[in-house]
Amino acid sequence: MEILDLRHFSSNDLRPLLEQESQVWSRLLAWDYSSSAEMILRYVDAKILPGYAAVERKRVFGYSFFVYEGSKGVIGDLFVANGGATHNGTEQRLLTHVIETLQQSPGIHRVEAQLLVHDTGTVAQPFAAQGFRRHPRLFMVLPLRGDGAPEFLRATRPGDPLPKPLPLGLELRKWTEDDF
């Protein structure tokens, strides 16, 4: 296995990996990641997305990328095919490359990462090894239908109006791209 600069690859090389990642986002977070994946592929084709790819037998099976935001480096994503199970240590190697690159980048004074599809602490080791502090986040899920849904969301049948007004300050609407 080799870790290579992401800018050596095209969207054709990464598309199967990002399709698998989109399925993971959907399964774990009920999140349609397809528009994000398409944006990543456009940046890969434009050769403007800094990051690294894990390659074996000329096939990309993992990647991580980062962006610069002023004096801050933000690790945008980390994904290894099949949850990394068949490629032990690949996630750590990719992260180590990204962290070291950001730490050596002129003008970068802060590094952040919010790797949402990774269980808490599973990718903490490369950060801890470099002296980073971890700030845990809590993600919550609320059923919108069925017995687990709050009373104000329970309609008797799909399409029926909600039985009670929403609590003050709460609005329900369809997700839009502007919500990013």
Q: What domains lie within the chain, and their CATH numbers?
A: 2-134 (3.40.630.30), 142-173 (no CATH)
List pLDDT tens digits, range 74-103: 999 999 997 555 557 899 999 999 999 999
- Which pair of structure tokens corresponds to residue 6? 């992401």
Q: For residue 28, give the DSSP letter.
A: H
Identify the three-state secondary structure at position 134: coil
List pLDDT tens digits, range 110-128: 999 888 888 777 788 888 8
| CB-count burial class (<10 Å; 0-12, 13-18, 19+) for 57 | exposed
Question: What sign does the CA torsion over 85, 118, 95, 4 have?
Answer: positive
Alpha-carbon 54 to chain mean position: 17
Distance CA 71, CA 170 (A): 36
Identify the three-state secondary structure at position 5: strand
Percent of the chain with pLDDT over 70: 83
Which pLDDT does position 86 carry in this prediction? 56
Of 88, 23, 28, give the one whose Cα is nearest residue 54. 88
- Which pair of structure tokens corresponds to residue 85? 């199970």
For 12-170, strand residue ranges (E) read: 51-56, 59-69, 72-80, 110-113
Which pLDDT does position 87 carry in this prediction? 59
Q: Is there a contact between 87 and 61 (Cβ–Cβ < 8 Å)?
A: yes
Quick check: 167 pLDDT over 80?
no
Q: For the residues 56-61, what does the mean pLDDT come to?
A: 92
Which pLDDT does position 148 carry in this prediction? 72
* Overall pTM surpassing 0.85 (yes/no): no
Which pLDDT does position 33 carry in this prediction? 93
CB contact set of 113 (below 8 Å; sequence gap of 6+): 74, 75, 78, 127
Quick check: 130 pLDDT over 90?
no
- Which pair of structure tokens corresponds to residue 94? 């990719």
